[in-house]
Structure 1
C-alpha cells in the first residue's frame, strides 16, 4: 500500500524540500488508471528574490496565485506546449516552488507508453514536459493538494547520493542562472541532464 506523505512534509525550506522530494513517488489517478514515478530530479525556485522564478519581485498573477498560499499544492503551468508541475513551497505569502524535472517510471508503465508513444524507456519521463504527459498530469491539476488523490507525493526510497548544479533553461536571469538549485539522484538513468 502506497503511503501518502502528510501535508506537514511540505512545511520545510524550499531547498530542503527540493532534496527531500528525491526518491519520493509522484502519483496521479485518472479515469484511465494510476501512473507513478520516483522523483529523480528537481529544481528549487525561491520566489521574490529569484530572477528565474515566476514570482520574482512578488509578481502576483492568475498563473502564480497558488504560490502565495499554503505549501503542498500543485502549481501547474504551460511552457511552450507542455504542462509542467511544481510543488508549492515556502511560507504563505512567500511564493516559492519546486519544479519536478524527471521521474523514474514505477506504476502504470503501459499507460505511459500509450500517452507518449514507443521510445527507449529512458526517454519516457526524463524531462518536465515528458513526465506530466506520461503520468496524465494537466493544467486541471492546478491548485490541488498534493497529499491526497488524484495527485500526491508518496513514500519511496532514500537516494544514496544526490548531485547538485545550476538549473536548466533560465539563461536570461542574471546571477540566478548560476545558483546550484537543481538536485538529482546521482547516476540515475532518467535524469534529464547529467551535469
Structure 2
C-alpha cells in the first residue's frame, strides 16, 4: 500500500505522473473492486485558477485539501462524485483528481454498479466512482492509509508513454491551458480517447 510520504515527496504535477500504472483498490461491501490509474490531473493550490483552493479559498467542503498529504477529498458535481487525494504538507492545499481507471479487480461488481460496456465503464472521474460503488461523501477527510481505499506501493504496469495536456472542463482563468492532465498514451480507458488511437494489444503499457 502506498504511504502518505508518496504524496509529499515531489511537486504535485510530478506525483500525478508517478501515479499512472498504480492500482487503486476499494474494499466495497460487495467485494474488492479497482483498477490501474490511467489518467489523473494535478491541481496546484492557491495559485491555480482551476483549483478549489484558488486564492486561499477554504470551506468545510474543501477542508480535506488543507489536510495532510494522502488525505481523501471527495466532492460532488451535479450528483456525480469525484475522488481527489491531497498532496503536499499540512495547509498547502494541492491535490490530484483521479480521472480514469483500467479495471483489474471485481469487474462484474463494477458492471452491476454501473451497467456500461467496454471502456465507458470507468473512463471518467464520475464514472469510475459509480463503478466502484462510492456514492457518498463518507470517505471524505479520511487518510488513504486508514480507509477502504488503497493504492499499490509500486506501479503494476509501466506506461510506454505519458501524455501531458490541458485539464478537462477548465474553461476560465490564467491556468486554463496548463498541461496538468496526465494519461497513458493510447489506453482506451482514458476519457475522450478516440477509437482510432486505442492500443488494443497492450493498452499503452510496456
- SS of match in other structure, 2:176: helix
Aligned twin of 1:167: 167
Per-residue deviation, residues 85-106 of structure 1 (Å, max 9, x unmatched): 0010122111000000000001
Q: Structure 2 length normalisation: TM-score?
A: 0.88
Alpha-carbon distance in 1 for matches of 2:55, 2:132: 32
CA contact (8 A) 1:145 1:151 kept: no
> How many matched pairs?
190
Corresponding residue for 1:101? 99
In structure 1, C-alpha distance between the alignment counterparts of 2:45 and 2:147, rounded to whole Å: 27
- Distance in 2, matches of 1:7 and 1:182, equals 22
What is the match of residue 158 of structure 1? 158
For residue 131 of structure 2, the aligned residue among 134, 138, 147 is: 134
Which segment drifts farther, 96-105 or 9-18? 9-18
TM-score for the superposition, normalised by structure 1: 0.93
Q: Does 1:5 align with 2:2?
A: yes
Say if 1:27 and 1:36, in contact at 8 Å, map to a contact too.
Answer: yes
Q: How does 1:1-195 map to 2 (within 5 A)?
A: 4-12=1-9, 13-117=11-115, 119-137=116-134, 138-154=136-152, 155=154, 156-172=156-172, 174-194=173-193
Once residues 157 and 141 of structure 2 are traced to their aligned partners in structure 1, the CA distance between those partners, rounded to angstroms, is: 26
Runs of 4+ in 1 over 4 A off after TM superposition: none
Unpaired stretches in structure 1, ≥5 consecutive residues: none
Deviation at 1:31, TM superposition (A): 1.4
Local SS of the residue matching 1:93: coil
Q: Deviations over 1:40-80 (max 9, x none)?
A: 00000011000100000110100111111101111000011
- Cα distance in 2, alignment partners of residues 93 and 179 from structure 1: 23
Aligned partners of 1:144 and 1:151 also within 8 Å: no
- Give the CA RMSD over aligned residues: 1.3
